[in-house]
A and B are shown apart, each in its own frame.
Chain A
Amino acid sequence: ETGVTQSPTHLIKTRGQQVTLRCSSQSGHNTVSWYQQALGQGPQFIFQYYREEENGRGNFPPRFSGLQFPNYSSELNVNALELDDSALYLCASSHLGASLAKNIQYFGAGTRLSVL
């Protein structure tokens, strides 16, 4: 177990709705990254949060947004859901500032989102 927990595990929404996914990072970690994994594909980087600020973003539209809280937990919000948003959403926590050898992203089990 990585100590990274995500909720909910599964979610079904309809097109146009909004969704919030949650992630609790591993103890001692200050950074959370979010990834989208479509069926049969590798994970794609959405964005990263460090000390409550966005610290890098992938090629995702603004309707994908996030938050990081003082306890380093995080939320991913997606507005105006589209069918193509159906995917496994993975959260990873790490410690920015750790040595290169120790800077590892630990993943949660993910939230599977289905958009109908």
Chain B
Amino acid sequence: AQSVTQLDSHVSVSEGTPVLLRCNYSSSYSPSLFWYVQHPNKGLQLLLKYTSAATLVKGINGFEAEFKKSETSFHLTKPSAHMSDAAEYFCAGTQGGSEKLVFGKGTKLTVNP
């Protein structure tokens, strides 16, 4: 069965410094993996999606993620944090032909001035 684990419930960075949000997955099959962002009182916005076409996936707003099968990881990174990046981030996955998204518990990103 597919499961997704976000390793940090809260990450705090200074504006202009790199961001790393960690996600590990567990799946018997090649998964599709996603990162979504949720700003306060808003729905989920897709940042990027991995579907096995390329291991390094570029998303919106300067975010990217690298799929590492050997480490079963799909960490989200951004070279330089902006104040507007402060939000909750969710890693999610599907398995096989299922469209059911399995989400991690989320990582709250705080960006300090």
Residue ranges of A at the interface with B (Cβ–Cβ < 8 Å): 2, 4, 6, 31, 33, 35, 40-45, 48, 55-56, 58, 90, 92, 94, 96, 100-101, 103-110
Known: A41-B106, A43-B90, A101-B51. A109 touches B42 (CB 8 A): yes
B99 touches A42 (CB 8 A): no
**Chain B interface mostly:** loop
Q: Is B35 an interface residue (CB 8 A)?
A: no
A31 to B42 CA separation, bound complex (whole angstroms)? 21
Known: A100-B51, A105-B101. A42 touches B45 (CB 8 A): no
A105 to B32 CA separation, bound complex (whole angstroms)? 12
B100 touches A107 (CB 8 A): no
Q: Is B22 an interface residue (CB 8 A)?
A: no
A4 to B42 CA separation, bound complex (whole angstroms)? 12
Q: Is B113 an interface residue (CB 8 A)?
A: no
A48 touches B99 (CB 8 A): yes
Q: Is B67 an interface residue (CB 8 A)?
A: no
A106 touches B53 (CB 8 A): no
- Complex A-B: 27 CB contacts under 8 Å: A2-B43, A2-B45, A6-B43, A31-B99, A40-B105, A41-B105, A41-B106, A42-B103, A42-B104, A42-B106, A43-B44, A43-B101, A45-B100, A48-B99, A56-B99, A90-B43, A92-B44, A94-B99, A100-B32, A101-B51, A103-B32, A103-B99, A104-B46, A105-B101, A107-B36, A107-B44, A108-B43
